[in-house]
């Protein structure tokens, strides 16, 4: 184990948006005609956070931990996956110092749901709400995201020795 007492991690995810699917961000369903397509429930924020915390601890990534080829993860609740990833990080002797995330999509607006999403993340990662932040951005109608075809998420976290 390295002697570092803090470690940063970066996670990224993108999901196509499809009519009739729920739009989920960290387990919070946001009213929208389209939601994330995917093998699991498609929760891009939960997936990016998994990769941020696993990466910071050098414990692999979400695809290794929950292979999409494994039918066990079909329609999986991604917050369960995040809790599982966090359990592994915690077992390795880390706790989360903070997490900060950017959600990029043309629709829906994220701001009205910001604090309920923060609360959902902080419960899963066992940190106070002040240590989690998220913000929504649009792609200024540019590219696939700007045309409303996908949602993209960047998640960054800092781990400290538990
Ligand atoms: Mg994903």
Is this structure's pTM higher than 0.85?
yes
Residue 87 Cα to ligand 1 midpoint, Å, equals 19
Q: List C-alpha distances in Å: 113 to 16, 44, 60, 80, 128.
A: 21, 15, 30, 20, 17
The C-alpha atoms of residue 97 and residue 85 are separated, in whole angstroms, by 16
Question: Does residue 59 have a cis bond before it (omega within 30 degrees)?
Answer: no
What pLDDT band is residue 6 in, cutting at 50, 70 and 90? very high
Class of residue 95 by CB neighbours under 10 A (exposed 0-12, middle 13-18, buried 19+): middle
The three-state secondary structure class of 4 is coil
Between the CA of 45 and the centroid of ligand 1 the distance, in Å, is 8
* Per-residue pLDDT at 76: 87
Q: What percent of the chain has pLDDT over 70?
A: 99
Give the separation between CA 101 and CA 158, rounded to whole angstroms.
12
CA distance linking residue 85 with residue 127, whole number of Å: 15
Cα distance between residue 88 and residue 54, in whole Å: 8
Distance CA 56, CA 45 (A): 16
Note the pLDDT tens digit of each residue in 55-98.
999 999 999 999 888 888 888 899 999 999 999 999 999 999 99
Query: 99: CA distance to ligand 1 center in Å?
Result: 18
Domain span at residue 102 reads 5-161
Average pLDDT over residues 138-147: 97
Work out how many domains the chain is built from and give that number: 1
CA 62 to ligand 1 centroid distance, Å: 8
> 109: domain CATH number?
3.30.1330.50
């Amino acid at each position: 184990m390295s002697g570092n007492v803090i470690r940063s991690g970066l996670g990224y995810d993108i999901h196509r948006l499809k009519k009739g699917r729920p739009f989920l961000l960290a387990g919070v369903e946001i009213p929208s005609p389209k939601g994330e397509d995917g093998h699991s429930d498609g929760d891009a924020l939960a997936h990016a956070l998994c990769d941020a915390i696993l990466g910071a601890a050098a414990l692999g990534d979400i695809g290794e931990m929950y292979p999409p080829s494994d039918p066990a993860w079909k329609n999986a609740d991604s917050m369960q996956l995040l809790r599982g990833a966090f359990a592994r990080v915690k077992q390795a002797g880390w706790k989360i110092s903070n997490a900060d995330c950017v959600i990029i999509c043309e629709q829906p607006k994220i701001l009205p749901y910001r604090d309920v999403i923060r609360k959902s993340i902080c419960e899963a990662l066992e940190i106070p709400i002040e240590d989690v932040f998220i913000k929504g951005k649009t792609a200024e109608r540019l590219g696939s995201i700007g045309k409303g075809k996908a949602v993209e998420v960047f998640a960054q976290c800092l781990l400290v020795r538990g």
